[in-house]
Structure 1
Amino acid sequence: MPARKGLTLVNLDSDGVDTAFRADVLQGLSEPQKAIPARWFYDDIGSDLFEQITGLPEYYPTRAETEILTERCDEFGGLIGPGTAVVEFGSGSSVKTPLLLGCIDPAAYVPLDIAGDFLRASADALAAQFPNLPVFPVEADFMRQVQLPADVTAMPKLGFFPGSTIGNMVARTAVDLLRTMRATLGEGSQLLIGMDLIKDPKVLTAAYDDSQGVTARFNLNLAARINRELGGTIPIEDLRHVARWNDEFARIEMHLEATRTIEFVVSARRFAMTEGETIHTENSHKFSRRSSNTLLLAGGWTPRHWWLDRQERFSLVLADATVPRSAP
């Protein structure tokens, strides 16, 4: 059974371009430290490249998270229970999402994503794997509150945010997103969220600068997307992928670095970069148990259960939207 047609909640301009994408790119390229939010990696090409990244030898988070979902399946089933509408923030992985759905016997599955074609392909794949499960894809920017399909309004909600995507955001943005998720899901909802852990910087750096160069292609595709969608003339051959550990902020940073002085146009506006100047494209913050709990509480979620893989590289946290009367 294919997924329901679903909803499209993305605002497009007269050129068919996401208005938020254009605004973020033009604003980010105008800053002294050029920067573009990591969420814009995920057009259809970027989403496909990220799926390739998850299978790379250096990229441990997917294997670690899959291990937790597999080995703790009974615990998830007992804590979440049947009859829940699973709302996934980002298109479902071909590995992780089916594992969760198989553990908890949900009443519906609602994937939210801004990459429409990738979203619908993922939703159809899940619907084929779970033919009795209603699937309602919603093309939307989940950084803003989303009106969920009426079919799931009365169901208890579980938000699913795997892969430590929350780590891509600085703390204030992450807190805003967690509050937005709570508003989308409603009171009494639960959230199952992946949060990557602080570890050896060599392991972390390798995960974001793999030997096959897939992550580099993923990073450079952001510049290619700007050229495709915003009439850009960025000379991609003069950019290189850079990944480095920032110990002060406990994060991996990804940049696109100019290998020579360049000039280019985006949406009829002119920009320039000197040799060595970068566009900051991603942060991937890493957490301790204490810092992950602090972040969730600030976002309106109370952590209830915390799981690790066997090598203690990655965590899954189950939280609920009931704020405690006093801090734990």
Structure 2
Amino acid sequence: MSPSPAFQLTRTLPEDATGAALRADVRHGLTRSPKTLPPKWFYDARGSELFDEITTLPEYYPTRAEREILVARAGEIAAATGARTLVELGSGSSDKTRHLLDAFGELTTYVPVDVSESALRGAARTLLDAHPALDIHALVADFTGALALPATPGPRLVAFLGGTIGNLLPEERTAFLTSVRGLLSPGDFFLLGTDLVKDEETLVAAYDDAAGVTAAFDKNVLAVVNRELGADFDPAAFEHVARWDAEREWIEMRLRATTAQSVKIPALDLAVDFAAGEELRTEISAKFRQDGVRSELRAAGLELAKWWTDGADRFALSLSSVPSP
């Protein structure tokens, strides 16, 4: 990207941070029982393409439902917050952000936070074409770790969209929400996207579409480990599984070994045995209820102020703030 006074980029991750995190996650996840891998490793270039395709599938409602709320409520969000700075955690392509930027008349600064420098630069190019007066201070950072935001005008609105919070285990959500609270000053707000509990058939279909796109997306994590760590996973020897856990109220995506096999991972000097039928969990996607969201926010020191859903009550955006002393 050509230098622009409206664009800054700060890297808070070491150059090899991604590789080191992948090696640590693969070693930890594949040497435990049951085996797991974090969902963030789906998203190489191919994985991102597949996810973009998923969002257009008839079975996958969350993206459409959240966009419906953003389009309908962006003006209310702007009026309620009076934000001059928008901070977006896990911003990616910043696609949904455009609905907010168009509605915020007083906004001067956008702080996208993502682990992908290329995604940040690409999004900045597009946004500056539409909003040339906007200051963009991009952060190459992991939003699940300690995060220091640049000095920007307040009030600030921190946004975490897409229902991504559902990929965090309950203890991880607690730590994350507590860290978000630490970023906020009095007068700042937090905008959170959450997928809602609904019938099992709708939920499972959203994660196991008839066209098999989600299955390809799930198996892509094996391709990432093969390419980056020299592993010899055979994706054809695994089948995609999506299951609703009614007790925990979350979807689990898994890869089930169709045969007994041993996978070698040379970069870790590791061999991993799978029994026939053994499953590797690749994602949880928790679904929420309003009372539960309110309780989790309150435990982190935030007070739920606004709650909006789409017309079918499939998805919710909540606005919370630091309560008055």
Q: How many residues align?
A: 319
Q: Do residues 34 (structure 1) and 39 (structure 2) align?
A: no
Superimposed CA distance per residue, residues 260-311 of structure 1 (whole angstroms, 9 cap, x where no aligned partner): 1111122221111111111101111111111111111222321110001111
Between the aligned partners of 2:198 and 2:279, the Cα distance in structure 1 is: 26
Unmatched 5+ stretches in structure 1: none
Between the aligned partners of 1:82 and 1:148, the Cα distance in structure 2 is: 15
- SS of the residue 1:18 aligns to: helix
- The one-letter code of the counterpart of 1:289 is Q
Q: Do residues 96 (structure 1) and 99 (structure 2) align?
A: no
How big is the alpha-carbon RMSD for the aligned residues of Structure 1 and Structure 2? 2.0
- Shifted more, 181-190 versus 51-60: the winner is 181-190
- The one-letter code of the counterpart of 1:88 is E
Return closer, same or farther for 1:17/1:68 CA change in 2, 3 Å cut-off. closer
Residue 129 of structure 1: how far off its partner (Å): 2.3
Identity fraction in percent? 40
- The one-letter code of the counterpart of 2:200 is P
Equivalent residue number for residue 47 of structure 1: 48
- SS of the residue 1:199 aligns to: coil
Paired residue for 1:4, among 7, 29, 53?
7
CA contact (8 A) 1:87 1:112 kept: yes
Equivalent residue number for residue 264 of structure 2: 265
Residue 254 of structure 1: how far off its partner (Å): 0.3
Q: Do residues 75 (structure 1) and 79 (structure 2) align?
A: no
Return closer, same or farther for 1:122/1:47 CA change in 2, 3 Å cut-off. farther
Residue 157 of structure 1: how far off its partner (Å): 1.8
Equivalent residue number for residue 212 of structure 2: 213
Write the mapping of 1:131-150 to structure 2, written as runs, cut at 5 A. 131-150=132-151
Residue 93 of structure 1: how far off its partner (Å): 4.9
- Shifted more, 282-291 versus 226-235: the winner is 226-235
- The one-letter code of the counterpart of 1:63 is R
Return closer, same or farther for 1:93/1:309 CA change in 2, 3 Å cut-off. farther
CA contact (8 A) 1:182 1:189 kept: no
Q: Do residues 125 (structure 1) and 126 (structure 2) align?
A: yes
Write the mapping of 1:304-315 to structure 2, written as runs, cut at 5 A. 304-315=305-316
Between the aligned partners of 1:72 and 1:109, the Cα distance in structure 2 is: 19
Residue 96 of structure 1: how far off its partner (Å): 1.7
- Shifted more, 105-114 versus 43-52: the winner is 43-52
Between the aligned partners of 1:35 and 1:244, the Cα distance in structure 2 is: 15
Residue 46 of structure 1: how far off its partner (Å): 2.3
CA contact (8 A) 1:241 1:256 kept: yes
Return closer, same or farther for 1:263/1:119 CA change in 2, 3 Å cut-off. farther
Return closer, same or farther for 1:262/1:231 CA change in 2, 3 Å cut-off. same
Return closer, same or farther for 1:197/1:274 CA change in 2, 3 Å cut-off. same
Equivalent residue number for residue 176 of structure 1: 175
- The one-letter code of the counterpart of 2:146 is Q
Return closer, same or farther for 1:77/1:299 CA change in 2, 3 Å cut-off. same
4+ aligned runs moved over 6 Å, structure 1: none
Write the mapping of 1:17-32 to structure 2, written as runs, cut at 5 A. 17-32=18-33
Unmatched 5+ stretches in structure 2: none
Residue 70 of structure 1: how far off its partner (Å): 1.3
CA contact (8 A) 1:301 1:321 kept: yes
- Shifted more, 98-107 versus 22-31: the winner is 98-107
- The one-letter code of the counterpart of 1:223 is L
Between the aligned partners of 1:30 and 1:141, the Cα distance in structure 2 is: 24
CA contact (8 A) 1:29 1:35 kept: yes
Return closer, same or farther for 1:43/1:185 CA change in 2, 3 Å cut-off. farther
